[in-house]
Amino acid sequence: MSGHTLGELAASAELEVPANLRRAKGWVGQLLELHLGATAGSKPEQDFPELGVELKTLPISHSGKPQESTFVCIAPLTGIAGVRWEASNVCNKLSCVLWIPVEASADIPLAQRRIATPFLWQPTPAQIHQLRQDWEELMEMIALGEVESITAHHGEILQLRPKAANGQALTHAIGRNGEMIQTRPRGFYLRSHFTYSLLRDVFTL
């Protein structure tokens, strides 16, 4: 797919290209999943379970920098006593990722945006250490009932941010006194400066 445009891929799949991504935010990712034969659905698993590979598109600017952070997975806010990093969804999802950089500058019409060179990535021991540290810090705060005091400033490469259909969505979490509270669902995201470092490592920029 490298070098081809999203318009070409959409045409071969007989899909309409939306006017913009405002009401189709996951369109690019789903188009690429379709072409690579990933199992559609909303299962909390890797995109290619047989290969142990997770697929993620990476929106990049003209200068090749990621334009957005990368969503990893929903953060568990309850039932997290004793959860270990090795058994976490974050660890599982990021153990092997096929990154597919895609042009995403606002001045390029969606159909004309090109797919860059994908690369397969497995975190280095140092990256795993960094991910694990961030994850443990955030999970500890959640476990201690401090989820509502977590902001996106926490975590060096992995951050926690709201992840929901809107601000009214609520889920259960642990409160400051160990009681059950209602709060906005959160998700783990990779900071763009981290995904940029992955691009620099692979393409020796």
Structure tokens given for 184: 């906005």
Sheet holding 158-162: strands in order across? 70-74, 186-190, 158-162
Under rule CB under 7 A, residue 111 binds DNA: no
**Between residue 128 and residue 187, which ones bind DNA under the rule CB under 7 A?**
151-153, 159, 161-172, 184-185, 187
Distance CA 90, CA 131 (A): 9
- DSSP-derived letter for residue 117 is -
Nearest to 76, CA basis, from 64, 62, 87, 68: 87
Q: How near is the Cβ of 174 to DNA at its closest, in Å?
A: 13
* Residue closer to DNA (CB basis): 26 or 125: 26
**Between residue 7 and residue 66, which ones bind DNA under the rule CB under 7 A?**
20-26, 28-30, 32-33, 40-45, 47, 54-57, 59
Under rule CB under 7 A, residue 93 binds DNA: yes
Instruction: For residue 68, give every residue at least 6 positions away whose Cβ sits within 8 Å of its Cβ, in sequence order, or none.
Output: 59, 104, 192
Contacts with DNA, residue ranges (CB under 7 A): 20-26, 28-30, 32-33, 40-45, 47, 54-57, 59, 67-69, 71, 73-74, 76, 89, 93, 102, 104, 106, 151-153, 159, 161-172, 184-185, 187, 191-193
